[in-house]
Structure formats: C-alpha cells, structure tokens
Chains A and B, each alone.
Chain A
Amino acid sequence: MTLLAAEGLTLSVVIGGSTIPVLRDISFALQPGKMLGLVGESGAGKSMIGRIIGQNLPHGFRITAGSLSFDGTDLLALPRDRHRALLGDRIAFVPQEPLSALNPVLTIGQQFAEHLRRLGIARRERYNRAAALLAEVKLPDAASLLHRYPFQLSGGMCQRVLLALAFASDPALIVADEPTTALDVSTQAHIVTLLRRLQASRGTAIVFITHDLRLAAHLCDEIIVLYAGDVVERGPAKEIFAAPRHPYTSALQRANPPLSGPRHGLPSLPENMPGIGAFAGIPGCRFAPRCPVADPACRDALPELREIAEGHFARCSPRCLDGHAAEVALEPIIADAAIASGQPILRIDDVSKIFRAQRSLLKGGRPITAVRAASLSVAPGEFVGIVGESGSGKSTLARLVMGQEAPSAGRIELAGHAMTQAKTDWASRIRTVQMIFQDPQSALNPRRTIGSLATQALEAQHHREAHHAEPRAARQARALTLLRETGLPAELAPRFPPQLSGGQRQRVNIARALCTTPPLLVADEIVSGLDVLVQAQILNLLLRLRETHGIALLFISHDLSVVRYLCSRVVVMHRGEIVEDGATEQVFSAPRHAYTKSLLAAVPPDALDRPWPPEGIADVALGS
C-alpha cells in the first residue's frame, strides 16, 4: 500500500497579480519503509515539496492542482488541527541546520519532555524513553545531555538529538531536508548511517531532500530529479545515477568530479537555472534554454513524463529519449600543468599559530593551537589543495599567508622574500598574493559597482602613488578585460552585486583578486556555497586562468573530489597539523595517514556497488 502519493501536484505563487506555477505536475508514490530522494539545485523546488507536506508554505504560495495523500487521507483537504495532529506523530521532520533548529533557551531535556508529553507518554516514563532514544543515536550519557542547552553541543550532536526526536513517535513518514549539508563529511556518514538504522528498525518511509545526486544514489530507493519546479527524471536510484536519460540529470551527474579514474573536464552549461520570476517566459521545458540537445519544440510545450524503462520516467523530447541523444560526449581529460622547478612562490616553514583566548576575571585564557609546525611550498603555476574538516586550521593557514594574522613561530616566504608584519612588507605581499574570499555576498561591498569592485586594487594603488594619473579610463578598460577573462558580460560593469547570481558574484570575487595579476592566489572554500553546476563553471574558470596567466593557487576546501579535480598536489590537515602531503593521485589512491583514510572513506564513492557508509562508522558514541 502506498504511504505518500502525489498526483499532478501543482504549486503556484501570485506575483504582481498573475499566478505563476512554481512546481508543475509533480507525481510520485512512496511505499512504507522506502526512501525517496528529491534531488536538485537550490531553487529547483525540492524543499517546497517538504513544505507542502508540512503545510508551512511561504506567504502567497498555494496548491492549484493535483492531490497529495498520506496513508489514504487527502493531506491537502485536511483541516488545520487534524493536520497538526499528524505532525510530530505520524509525520516527522529532520531539518537542515541542526544548530538553529533547537530552541536556544530550553534544555534538550525540556524539548524532549515537551514532545513526549504531546505524544501522551506519562511523566515518569519520559526520562527512560528519552534515554533509550538517545542511546539509539549513540548519545549514551542522557543524564548529562538532557540538562544541556543546544549551544553546548556540536552540530553533529544536535542532529542526533533531532533524529531521536523525530523517531520518538515511530512515525510512518520522515521528511529530511538536507539533513547533512551543514555537517562535516565524517559527521555526514554518521548521521546517514543512523538514519538508515532507525528507518530499518521501524519501517519508516523517508523523503530525503538533497542537492547531492551521488549521496541520494547511495541512500535512496527511488530518485526524483527536479529542475526549476519540473520533474525531469524519476526512477530507481542506482539506475538514474548510472544511466541518466535526461540531459540535465546527465550534466548534474558528471558535474561532480569523481574520486577515482580519469579526470574528464566538467560540463559547463551556459547561464543559470531560471528563477521564479523568469518562469512565465518559458512555457515549455524550463531546461531548454540551456540544453545542449534541445530542439525548438522543447521550448514551446512541456514534454510528457514518459516511462522509458520499468519505473524509470524522463520528461524529454521523444527524439532525445529514443535516440539516446542525452549521452553527450565526455569532455577531454584535463592535464596537470608542468611545474616549474626552482624557487617556490610560497614557502611556509615550520609555522605555528597559537591563539590566546580572551581572558576573563574568572578563568585565565587557555591558548589554542590553530596551526602547529606546518611546512609546505607552492611552485609557480602549481595548484595545491588543502583539505580538512572544520577546525582543522586550514583557514588560519590562509590568513597567515595573507598576513591577516602573524605567525607565532616559523617563517613565511613569498617569491623568495621572508615576510614580516612590517608595513614595508605589506606592499610586496599583496603584489605577490591575493585572496579569493569564500562568500561573495559578504566579500563584495553591495554599494560598489561590479566594475569598481573588480578594479578595487587600482583604486588603492592610485591613492598610494599620487603620480599615478589617468585612473578613470585605465580603470574602465581594466574592468572590461577582467570581466571578459572571468566570463562575465561587459554590461554587468555598472551593476551592483545584489543584482547578480551567486555564480556571477563569485566570478567578480575572482576578478578582483586577479586585478593586479598576482602570481599566487589563495582561495578559501570558494565553491562550497555554490550549486554543483555553477561549481563546475568556477572550477573550469580557475583551470583556464592557470593556462592563460600561469597563476599558482592555494585551494582550501573540505570537498575531496573538487580538490582532486583541480590540484596536482594535496595537503591534508587535521587538528592544526599537516598529516599528509603528496601528489594528488598518490594520496587519493594510497593514503598513508589514518585520518586521510577515514576522510576518504567518509565520502560516498562513485561506484554504487561499494557499500557506503562503511560498516560500524556510526558506532562511535559521542559522550559529554
């Protein structure tokens, strides 16, 4: 019997008097005990489906067609209070941001008690129930944990608590919206394992919402791929990942660089997924404007969702589906740049950084070692990756290179010159190395135009050297060159950052660092906030810059597959120390350090037949 069934579900929003369909014709059926993956980039509408189930749609959105039934009852027609009775009982939710999903002024115990009370569990049994649930998610020390507040726990612990809360009522359905996105890779593997175990022990059906096709392929029974509110493909999870039929699914699958095997270039689809405002202008397939194999008919009418194999549906033109046109040729394999021997552009020698915590009257500051005796070097034109989880000290290392922090010990050389914090070194430092910041929304002053941002370095130069005349025309010309080099249209120059898409903003961010063409760039997690196709565009841009300018790059990331794609050498950091340093292929195929091994094991592999997450990974108990 089907537990959750959607039939032709259409969600619309009213903007400026006209009704725009946001989700079009969504159909699926989820059986008890199964896991359904909703996969798509941000803005694809996957979270909206979760919000329809929870009836917490944003203002102005409503269902205009179709039906949604849960266990035989029509969810959409259910009165408010009867729907609410289902929530937290038969239908439970696991959120994306575990740290902000628990009330900061209530203890874990108070939040458990409230939930168990609502489930009708007698007061004296509540403690034992909570303790049993916490033990199930490998949080054994319930007595201490229940007295703590959410901010005293790590993100992984909060997510375990939220899992325990969600499964407390043995619900028939769980909606998990990006439950591991905010967590480190190894924590992600833990949470996923727990989720599966709890599901297996209770026969729960799960709607798993994620942007990560590979993760969904490992976890789910069935996958729905969404693009701009349309179901483009739907079918058995492994089949979708191994043999995608829709050109979008295929691009999505190949945009995530593999952890082994040949490194093909990543597909670069032009432009971005359209936003809700643009939907009205695309009556047909919303992917058609970017599709490499679209024909004029695609743009005029939305193709039918057609069953192409048993239980495998795709919404594409018959020409495409019958002729297998979706199998676009793979990009060529990329080559590593030839590394010039001789003097390195950056040399870090035995550098440590110790932070002293703010002293207070009550307790003295305890020094925290963020980086311990790190040594590495980067040759001109070399791309070096630094990987590690949050708190590993990789960002501190970047700040040390940039001179934003002074090393407590050791020596940093740029282009052969030892750098001090002295003012005289500052000018030569910023000539040699520039930084691309993680979050362009924060790194681009919203009050400056794109042109002025890209050439901000010239503005500073002009101020320093008063004789530097003809700034205006030279600056404009430079701005246009930089926009072209970073793949941005020239007409963006007079615009402001809020008017740009996330990917475009990150290009501006890169353009600014490129302005004075420094020989070395430092990039701190610059693709982590981007969708996978936009990420592919940015990665390709960086490779192109290496070709045209011979720039060297220190690329800091938590994402192993991205580092493998981009960098010829990789440095692994763990708790402030460099634990492994070597050629990328060697480190990835034969890691030596135990931490590198565990890090690699935590990433979902490309091969679907390899069981993932590894057995026993979640049995590590998190104590207090």
Chain B
Amino acid sequence: MPPLLRRVLTEPRAVIGGVILLLVLFVALLAPALAPHDPAEQDLLRTLLPPAWLPGGDWDFPLGTDSLGRCTLSQLIFGARVAMIVAIAAASGAAILGTILALLAGYFGGAVDWLISRAVDIWMSFPPVVLSLIFMVGLGAGLANVILAIVIVDWTRFCRIVRSEVLAVAKRDYVPAARLVGFSHLQIIVKEILPAVTPLLLTLISIEMGIAVIVEAILSFVGLSVEPNVPAWGVMIADARQYMYQAEWGLILPVLGIFVTVLGANLLGDGLRRSLDPRLVRRVAA
C-alpha cells in the first residue's frame, strides 16, 4: 500500500468522513430499493404525520409525512440522489476547470496568468450564491443546469488556491531541472507539477462536495433548482417551513440530511489535509 494512502487511512477524520459519504452514496444508488414509498405518492388522509415512534405516528411512514401526505423517509432517500449527483459532478467539474486554468496561470505566468487572475477577480467580486442564482435564472431549472451553474461559479475556489500552490511548486528547482534535462512544458505540468498539487486538490474536491450540496439546497429552497416533481432536500425544507409550528420534524429531518452529508465532506477534507499536507506535518512535529 502506498505510504500516502496508509497515512490517509490512519487519520480518523478522513475515515469517518469517507464512510459517511459512502453511506449517503449507497443510499442514493439504492434509493428505489430502500424507499418504502414512491416519494411522489400522496396520502391526503395522513398528512403531517410525526415520525412513527412519536404519539400519532404510523409505522407505514417511519419518519412521518409532509403536508401532502408524502412519505418523508422516501423523500429523504431520493433527495440523496440529487445531492450526490450534484456533489460529485459539480465538484469534479469545478476541480477540472479550475485546476487546468490554475496550472496554466501558475506555470506560464505573464499574460496568461494576468488574464486568468483578472477573471478570478471578477468572479470574486460577487458573493458566489448570488452568482449561481443569476446563472440559474439565465439557464432555467434542471439538474444539469444546477451542476453547470455551480461549476461556472466555483471553479475560482480551485483556481485561486491551486494557482498559489503551483507557484510555490514552480519555485522549487526540480521544475527548471526537468526543463534542463529536456522535458516539454506539457510533460513538466503533467509529471512534475500536477502530482505535487494532487493532495491539495483532493482536499479541495471533498470540501467542494459539501459546498455543492449546500448550494443545491439553497437553489431548491428558492425554487430554482431541479424540476418541481423531483424530491430534493432544499425543496423539503422550503415546504416544511410553512408548517413548522405543527410538524417540526418535517423541517429537522432534511436539515439533518444536509448536515450529515456536508459533515462527511468536511471531515474527509480535513482528514486529507492533515494526512497529505507536508506543511501541516512539519507544524505538528514542531
């Protein structure tokens, strides 16, 4: 086993975070098999039920129902699908776009760097949430558009941080040394610089997964994310908010879903950073 992987696997944060994310992913993949009901199925006679173990609960609906009598548990389970698809697709998309631009900017410097850095400046002159809202207004609802909006907004998070890491790596003499033994620029970027920024990249991707889940929930909450009939945690929260005095569970459960997923992503990111970042290792040793 490579030493880096072993370091990651002995870091409890990384392991716990990874297990949480895998569980959510597992639930999302097996949603049709796990959910007791069709999440869209309404039972207008049994609306706003509390979870089954509370007075007035019903074991037909283990976590209760919403205002239209839809099964909360099934909605949560199917909601994990939207969350996971967005988390994985948006985080990798933003990582790829941001990293490519960061490598170009950091390695070549000069005009390329100027242009990319100014683009980042322009993007950063906006709260990201506002920017993604605007993109959603322009693009229209739908899962693919949510992913696209997050990628277009959040590539800067990668670009900014990875670029400064590329600059730090490019200062090391092994980069000019590779050039002097005859490596091409592309070879240097792929074989010398990319491996050096990969640990940072993994950390950022896992944190970005959490951010993507949150942004999707915000967009759903506003009604600008997936189509209305697709179950999503943000939509559940927006609906349940109107009945929060009667049925607080309907509100708490999707909040919990988001919290657990984001916690998993943050723990994994934290764990990766601790086990892979040499500066942190030095700091701990000192």
Q: Mark A residues whose CB is within 8 Å of B.
A: 402, 404, 427, 430, 434-435, 437-439, 442-445, 447, 456-457, 459-461, 463-464, 512, 515-516
Residue of B nearest to A399 (CB): B176
A-B contact count (CB 8 A): 57
Total contacting residues, chain B, CB less than 8 A: 16
CB atoms of A447 and B196 under 8 A apart: yes
B180 CB-CB contact with A under 8 Å: yes
Residues in B with CB closer than 8 Å to A404 are: 176, 179-180
By the criterion CB–CB under 8 Å, are B174 and A457 in contact? no
Say yes or no: is B183 at the interface (Cβ < 8 Å to chain A): yes
A457 to B172, CA, bound (A): 18
Q: In this assembly, does B177 line the interface, its C-beta being within 8 Å of a C-beta of chain A?
A: yes
Please tell me which one of the listed residues A442, A457, A463 contacts residue B184 in the complex, with CB atoms under 8 A apart.
A463
Minimal beta-carbon separation of B192 from chain A (angstroms):
6
Nearest to A460 among chain B residues (CB) is: B182
Report whether B180 and A434 are in contact in the complex, using a CB–CB cutoff of 8 Å: yes
CB pairs A–B below 8 angstroms (18 shown): A402-B180, A404-B179, A430-B182, A434-B180, A435-B177, A437-B176, A442-B172, A442-B174, A443-B177, A444-B177, A456-B177, A456-B178, A456-B181, A457-B181, A460-B183, A463-B184, A464-B184, A515-B181
A427 close to B182 (CB less than 8 A):
yes
Residue numbers in B under 8 Å from A445 (CB-CB)? 172, 174, 178, 192, 196
> Which residues of chain A are near B174, meaning CB under 8 Å?
442-445
A1 → chain B, closest Cβ, in Å?
A: 39
- The A interface is mostly helix, strand or loop, or mixed, namely helix
Contacting residues, chain B, for A438 (C-beta < 8 A): 173
A460 touching B176, Cβ below 8 Å: no
Q: Is B223 an interface residue (CB 8 A)?
A: no
In whole angstroms, how far apart are the Cα atoms of A296 and B43 in the complex?
92
* Complex contact B173–A460 (CB within 8 A): no
Q: Return chain B residues, CB-CB under 8 Å to A435.
A: 177, 180
Which of chain B's residues have a CB closer than 8 A to the CB of A459? 181, 183
- Residue-wise, chain B 144-183 has the 8 Å CB interface mask toward A (1 for contact) of 0000000000000000000000000000111011111111
Q: Does B12 contact A (CB under 8 A)?
A: no
- Could you mark each residue 186-200 of chain B with 1 if its beta carbon is under 8 Å from any beta carbon of chain A, else 0? 010000100110000
Interface residues of B (CB under 8 A from A): 172-174, 176-184, 187, 192, 195-196
Cβ contacts under 8 Å, A439 to chain B: 173
Looking at chain B's contact residues, the main secondary structure is: helix
The answer to whether B177 touches A461 (Cβ under 8 A) is no
Q: Are A430 and B196 in contact (CB under 8 A)?
A: no
Besides the known contacts A447-B195, A456-B178, A460-B181, 18 further A-B residue pairs in the complex with CB atoms under 8 A apart = A427-B182, A437-B177, A438-B173, A442-B174, A443-B172, A443-B173, A443-B174, A443-B177, A444-B177, A445-B174, A445-B178, A447-B196, A456-B183, A457-B181, A460-B182, A463-B183, A464-B184, A515-B181
> Closest approach, in angstroms, between the C-beta of B210 and any C-beta of chain A?
28
- Output the least CB separation between B280 and chain A (Å): 16
Residues of B within 8 A of A437 (CB): 173, 176-177
B194 CB, nearest partner CB in chain A, Å = 10
Please name the 6 residue pairs, one residue from A and one from B, whose CB atoms are nearest each other, closest first.
A460-B182, A443-B173, A457-B181, A442-B173, A445-B174, A437-B173
Determine whether the beta carbon of A457 is less than 8 Å from that of B173. no
Residue of B nearest to A497 (CB): B174
A434-B181 CB under 8 A given contacts A445-B192, A447-B196, A460-B187: yes
Q: Chain B residues near A402 (CB, 8 Å)?
A: 180
Rounded to whole Å, the gap between the CB of A433 and the closest CB of chain B is 9
A464 to B183, CA, bound (A): 9
Chain A residues, CB < 8 A from B196: 445, 447
Smallest CB separation, B55 vs chain A (Å)? 57
Are A430 and B180 in contact, with the CB atoms below 8 A? yes
Closest residue of chain A to B285, judged by CB?
A: A59
Q: Using Cβ atoms and an 8 Å threshold, which residues of chain B touch A512?
A: 177, 181
Max chain A Cβ within 10 angstroms of own Cβ: one of B177, B178, B184, B187: B177
Q: How far is the CB of A265 from chain B (nearest CB, A)?
A: 30
Residues of chain B within 8 A of A461, CB atoms compared = 182
* Residues in A whose Cβ lies below 8 Å from that of B184: 460, 463-464
Residues of chain B with a CB closer than 8 A to A515's CB: 181
Give the complex CA separation of A442 and B195 in angstroms. Answer: 15
Give the residue among B173, B179, B181, B184 with the most A Cβ atoms within 10 A.
B181
Q: Which residues of the other chain, B, contact A434 by a CB distance below 8 angstroms?
A: 180-181
Nearest chain B CB to A587's CB is how many angstroms away?
30
* A93 CB to nearest chain B CB (Å): 20
